[in-house]
């Protein structure tokens, strides 16, 4: 038997869909009204297809307000609410109390094997808080994020794109034994923290997409652009737009186009009196990211630094708007360490153009490994990573900018 704690939108869909998958399920909720309603075969939420599944699987479903009624469960799924407090912090009061109840239950139960937390929580909550609250070493604890969308929750539950299971350690997922997990294809085992964070990444991304396309469309409309045609060609580009391109964490963006055209778009909006706060904050966000790298570089307290690969992206000799050159200039101007020495290594055909650039005047530019000095305090790999350098400067601090483009 599976017990589902918390029968709100997520919990009731989870309970009924698990019954549909063949499990006997007990749903536990503090709300007496909800339990009475369910016992009277009445659903208190509307969700496409749910009523039919409820009626079809009634014989496999029980409901109670008493957590002790879950003592014969083999697996528990926790779906209690984690609402926002003022300022966006998470209210953990429901999940705290449910953990205490489950902890008491585990002491009496000799059937319980696994507990899955589905309530959205911030990274590290499962490892540092929930496992301690449950406090039972014989029970496995997982974080199982929920991706169902209200309106298509049944379909999303029964046919998930992927099932993410957060585990204490990903070393040996084959040792995990769970009937719930067995029922899903495409299961992805990740650390607790990844499973916790993915909800925030996904939902922030979806929110970003809505706000982004609305800002674009609002400005475009003012310029008599056919929005539906624009939308069609925008989403029709699955190589660069609706794709994984540019979606890789790394260094700040630069180059001749992204910055210039973002500024151009902002000016178009301003001319028409339209505020586009999302797109307006892209360049400050990019700059903030660059400044984080300055702080990281400074933390090495290096006075002799080598930069390898400084063009704005791989496969070009263009250093106009190179964020690495911006990084070098900012670093060079920081007052914290005077007498800094900055060397640059790049390919000969690239540095030919670099040599004439006034932006690079303060630095020593080289194209051959033999020209490098014997010692550096810090080596920073930008658009190039060189194994011979890593080998030669084994004891030197290395920083990879992790270029995105």
Ligand X SMILES: NC(=O)c1ccc[n+]([C@@H]2O[C@H](COP(=O)([O-])OP(=O)(O)OC[C@H]3O[C@@H](n4cnc5c(N)ncnc54)[C@H](O)[C@@H]3O)[C@@H](O)[C@H]2O)c1
Considering only 17-25, 74-82, 209-217, 241-249, which stretch makes contact with ligand X by CB under 6 A? 74-82
71 binding ligand X? (CB under 6 A): no
5 binding ligand X? (CB under 6 A): yes
309 binding ligand X? (CB under 6 A): no
257 is catalytic: yes
The CB-of-83 to ligand X minimum distance in angstroms stands at: 7
Task: Give the separation between CA 402 and CA 248, rounded to whole angstroms.
Answer: 9
2 binding ligand X? (CB under 6 A): no
Max CA-CA distance within the chain?
A: 83
Q: Which two tokens mark 298?
A: 């400074």
Residues 23-42 binding ligand X (CB under 6 A) are 28-31, 34
Alpha helices per DSSP H over 223-317: 227-236, 258-271, 277-280, 282-299
Phi, psi dihedral angles at 384 (to 5 degrees): -130, 145
Task: Give the separation between CA 383 and CA 211, rounded to whole angstroms.
Answer: 32
Q: Which two tokens mark 54?
A: 């409820």
Distance from chain centroid for Cα 316: 30
Question: For ligand X, which residue has the nearest CB?
Answer: 8
346 binding ligand X? (CB under 6 A): no
196 binding ligand X? (CB under 6 A): no
# residues contacting ligand X (CB under 6 A): 26
Residue 32 vs 361, nearer CB to ligand X = 32
Residue 10 vs 366, nearer CB to ligand X = 10
The CB-of-5 to ligand X minimum distance in angstroms stands at: 5
The CB-of-114 to ligand X minimum distance in angstroms stands at: 18
The CB-of-189 to ligand X minimum distance in angstroms stands at: 20
Residues 97-156 binding ligand X (CB under 6 A) are 97-98, 101, 118-120, 146, 148, 150
Residue 101 vs 179, nearer CB to ligand X = 101
Residue 377 in 3-state DSSP?
coil
**HEC string of 32-83?**
HHHHHHHHCCCCCCCCCCHHHHHHHCHHHEEEECCHHHHCCCCEEEECCCCC
Sign of the CA dihedral 130, 132, 134, 136? positive
Contacts of 20 (CB under 8 A, 6+ apart): 53, 56, 57, 158
Residue 97 vs 188, nearer CB to ligand X = 97
Residues classed as catalytic: 257
Query: Residues interacting with ligand X, by CB under 6 A?
Result: 5-11, 28-31, 34, 79-82, 94, 97-98, 101, 118-120, 146, 148, 150
């Amino acid at each position: 038997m599976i017990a589902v704690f918390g029968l709100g939108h997520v919990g009731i869909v989870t309970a009924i869909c698990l019954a549909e998958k063949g499990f006997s399920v007990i749903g536990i909720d503090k709300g007496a009204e909800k339990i009475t309603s369910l016992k009277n075969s009445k659903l208190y939420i509307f969700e496409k297809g749910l009523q039919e599944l409820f009626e079809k699987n009634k014989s496999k479903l029980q409901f109670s307000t008493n957590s002790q009624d879950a003592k014969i469960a083999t697996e528990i799924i926790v779906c209690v609410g984690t609402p926002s407090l003022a300022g966006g912090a998470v209210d953990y009061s429901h999940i705290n109390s449910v953990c205490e109840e489950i902890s008491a239950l585990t002491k009496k139960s000799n059937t319980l094997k696994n507990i899955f937390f589905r309530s959205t929580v911030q990274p590290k909550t499962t490892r540092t808080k929930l496992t301690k609250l449950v406090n039972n070493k014989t029970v496995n604890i997982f974080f199982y994020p929920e991706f169902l969308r209200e309106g298509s929750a049944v379909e999303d539950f029964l046919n998930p794109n992927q099932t993410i299971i957060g585990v204490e350690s990903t070393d040996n997922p084959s040792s995990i034994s769970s009937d719930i997990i067995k029922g899903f294809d495409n299961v992805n085992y990740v650390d607790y923290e990844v499973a916790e964070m993915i909800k925030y990444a996904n939902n922030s991304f979806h929110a970003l997409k809505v706000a982004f396309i609305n800002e674009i469309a609002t400005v475009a409309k003012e310029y008599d652009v056919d929005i539906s045609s624009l939308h069609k060609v925008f989403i029709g580009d699955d190589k660069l737009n609706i794709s994984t391109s540019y979606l890789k964490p790394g260094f700040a963006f630069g180059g001749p186009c992204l910055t210039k055209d973002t500024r151009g778009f902002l000016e178009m909006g301003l001319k028409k009196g339209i505020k586009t706060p999302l797109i307006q904050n892209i360049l400050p966000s990019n700059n903030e990211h660059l400044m984080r790298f300055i702080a990281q570089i400074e933390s090495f307290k290096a006075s002799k630094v080598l930069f390898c690969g400084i063009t704005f992206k791989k496969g070009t000799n263009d250093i106009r708007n190179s964020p690495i050159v911006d990084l070098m200039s900012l670093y060079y101007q920081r007052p914290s360490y005077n007498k800094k020495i900055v060397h640059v290594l790049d390919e000969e055909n690239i540095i030919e153009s670099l040599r004439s650039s006034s932006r690079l005047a303060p630095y020593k530019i080289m194209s051959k490994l033999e020209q490098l000095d014997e010692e550096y305090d810090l080596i920073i790999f930008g658009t190039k990573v060189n194994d011979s350098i890593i080998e030669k400067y084994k004891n030197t601090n290395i920083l990879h900018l992790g270029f995105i483009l």
